[in-house]
Amino acid sequence: MRKISTLLAGVTALSLSTAALSQDNDPMTLQAEALQDDVAYDIVEGLTTEVGPRQAGTEQEARARDWSVAKLKSLGFQNVRSEPFMMPTWVRGAETAAVVAPYPQKLIVTALGNSGSTGEKGITAEVAYFDSLDALKAVPDGSLDGKIAFVTHKMHRAQDGSGYSAFGPIRWFGPSIASQKGAVAYVIKSIGTDYHRNPHTGSTGFGEGVKAIPAGALSLPDADNLERMVKLARKDGKPVTMNLVLTPQNIGQQESGNVIAEVVGREPDLPMILVACHLDSWDLATGAFDDAAGCGIITAAAKNIKDHGQPLRTIRLLWAGAEEVGIWGGKAYRDAHRNKKHAIAMESDFGADKVWRVEFTLPDGARPVAEEIASSLLNLGIGRSAGAAGGGADIGPIISDSNLAIIDLQQDGSRYFDLHHTPDDTLDKIDPEQLRQNVAAWTTVLSIIANSDADFTMPVKP
């Protein structure tokens, strides 16, 4: 009887232990706990306070990597390391703009990444106004000789941030087009939605064989003022003349790097979950929304999974370097890890406001996983979109290379482009409660996919 009692006691203890483990990994239990999270905010506060601006290829970005490695180790992650790579580096110089005639006044401007230099004396030239990028494209090559091309737009706020893809080409491609047309410089209405005198920077590029001309972004109020000046001066048959000073430099190949950390799974042969953010920021501010918040969100969620027992699959964190200036970190990760088995890739790089919808690009066999995730997120006010997930900039290279499954947790972007790439991207813009909702959403998804043995292999593309 004593042996039977002992055996029954052991079985009961095992049953209780199994039940406790099951409860410990329950997505809804973890979700509720994540709504009390402070880890994400602590990371955002640390990066913005102890490091500050983190432009790629600079000493500040190097300090950010050191800080990140120490932080991730202190949080108990495994296999934490920095993976360096080299990249071409551009740094900002002096930047001023002013209308010289017929209505003299100062304008607020910032250089676009990879802009050419005016030289210290600057350029004084007539402004050629265009109300769209298409209008600039339509003029003949050489027709803008000696002029400063100015392109404006009518971008509005959108929850899904769709205005950025519509008007972003003005920044991405406009300077190269203006150079081909003969312009000596190029200015734009910032690709943003705020009406503060804070210009929005961001990268641009020049086509092969195209001269890199000075290129800058005016704050939205200043750009609107310049547009009014041009239209008013036209009535009197007068040109608007601007003086522009932008003195950035290309300082050659410098070191950047990715920071990697892991929650090692019980089954190392199962393809891993890759979750990403980017560590670098532009130099105008401390990069709270873009993208310290993303690093805080994915890390807090992965830590929640880790703290509740070892998951089935490994979760790998990628804090990518040099995203803003050319997605160098994402490309370096692809090149270094394309032979590693990945199951799903996810990224957080759209601020810190609430997640409002979830999107999937999964194989048909993983449909039950998507249904479980969608159902579990309803409690957080997150609905399922009929659209497919597309991933983010830093995971884009490895997704394309390895044809990975993707899950997107789409954040509310209504105010993102008020802050994006501006001096206003600072810690005070982070709403801790909305940040916690992000962590809860990510924790929910990771708890399901990291403990799933479903086959996430995508069908071969035709």
Same domain for 428 and 406: yes
Residue from 309, 225, 318, 219 nearest 274 by CA: 318
What is the percent of the chain where pLDDT is above 90?
94
In this predicted structure, the answer to whether residue 94 has a pLDDT above a threshold of 60 is yes
For residue 363, being part of any structural domain is answered with yes
Same domain for 263 and 241: no
- Check residue 11 and give its pLDDT: 37
Same domain for 219 and 104: yes
Report the CATH number at residue 141: 3.50.30.30
Q: What is the pLDDT of residues 301-312, one digit of tens each?
A: 999 999 999 999
- Out of 249, 277, 300, a domain closes at 249
Same domain for 130 and 259: no
User: Phi and psi (nearest 5°) for 273?
Assistant: -100, 125
In this predicted structure, the answer to whether residue 12 has a pLDDT above a threshold of 50 is no
- Check residue 25 and give its pLDDT: 80
For residue 17, being part of any structural domain is answered with no
Same domain for 244 and 169: yes
Per-residue confidence at 333, pLDDT binned at 50, 70, 90?
A: very high
In this predicted structure, the answer to whether residue 9 has a pLDDT above a threshold of 90 is no
Q: Of residues 385 and 12, which shows the higher confidence score?
A: 385
Specify burial of residue 226 (Cβ count, 10 A radius: 0-12, 13-18, 19+): buried
For residue 21, being part of any structural domain is answered with no
For residue 100, being part of any structural domain is answered with yes
Cα–Cα distance for residue pair 247/249, rounded to 1 Å = 7
Q: Classify 128 as helix, strand or coil.
A: strand
Report the CATH number at residue 415: 3.40.630.10
Cα–Cα distance for residue pair 202/206, rounded to 1 Å = 14
- Out of 219, 249, 279, a domain closes at 249
- Check residue 4 and give its pLDDT: 39
Same domain for 372 and 395: yes
Same domain for 261 and 226: no
Per-residue confidence at 240, pLDDT binned at 50, 70, 90?
A: very high
Query: Which residue type sits at 86?
Result: M
Instruction: Give me the mean pLDDT over the 370-389 stretch.
Output: 97
Instruction: Give me the mean pLDDT over the 186-206 stretch.
Output: 98
Q: Classify 98 as helix, strand or coil.
A: strand
- Check residue 250 and give its pLDDT: 97
- Check residue 16 and give its pLDDT: 33
Q: Of residues 1 and 342, which shows the higher confidence score?
A: 342
For residue 3, being part of any structural domain is answered with no
pTM of full prediction above 0.85? yes
Query: Which residue type sits at 67?
Result: W
- Out of 215, 249, 283, a domain closes at 249
Domain coverage including residue 315: 27-86+253-449
For residue 321, being part of any structural domain is answered with yes
Q: What is the pLDDT of residues 263-287, one digit of tens each?
A: 999 999 999 999 999 999 999 999 9
What's the chain's average pLDDT? 94
What is the percent of the chain where pLDDT is above 70?
95
Residue from 147, 166, 142, 145 nearest 155 by CA: 166
Same domain for 278 and 143: no
- Check residue 2 and give its pLDDT: 38
Cα–Cα distance for residue pair 199/219, rounded to 1 Å = 4
In this predicted structure, the answer to whether residue 21 has a pLDDT above a threshold of 60 is no
Q: What is the pLDDT of residues 399-445, one digit of tens each?
A: 999 999 999 999 999 999 999 999 999 999 999 999 999 999 999 99
Per-residue confidence at 261, pLDDT binned at 50, 70, 90?
A: very high
- Check residue 316 and give its pLDDT: 98
Cβ-Cβ contacts under 8 Å for 220 (sequence gap 6 or more): 189, 190, 192, 193, 194, 195, 196
Same domain for 347 and 332: yes
For residue 13, being part of any structural domain is answered with no
Q: Of residues 9 and 418, which shows the higher confidence score?
A: 418
For residue 271, being part of any structural domain is answered with yes
- Check residue 10 and give its pLDDT: 42
Same domain for 210 and 331: no
User: Phi and psi (nearest 5°) for 389?
Assistant: -75, 145
Q: What is the DSSP string of 276-328?
A: EEE----TTS--IIIIIHHHHHHHHHHHHHHHT---SS-EEEEEESS-TTT-H
Q: Do 87 and 57 contact (CB within 8 A), yes or no?
A: yes
- Check residue 462 and give its pLDDT: 76
Task: Please state the domain count of the chain.
Answer: 2
Query: Which residue type sits at 445?
Result: V
Same domain for 385 and 279: yes
Same domain for 126 and 160: yes
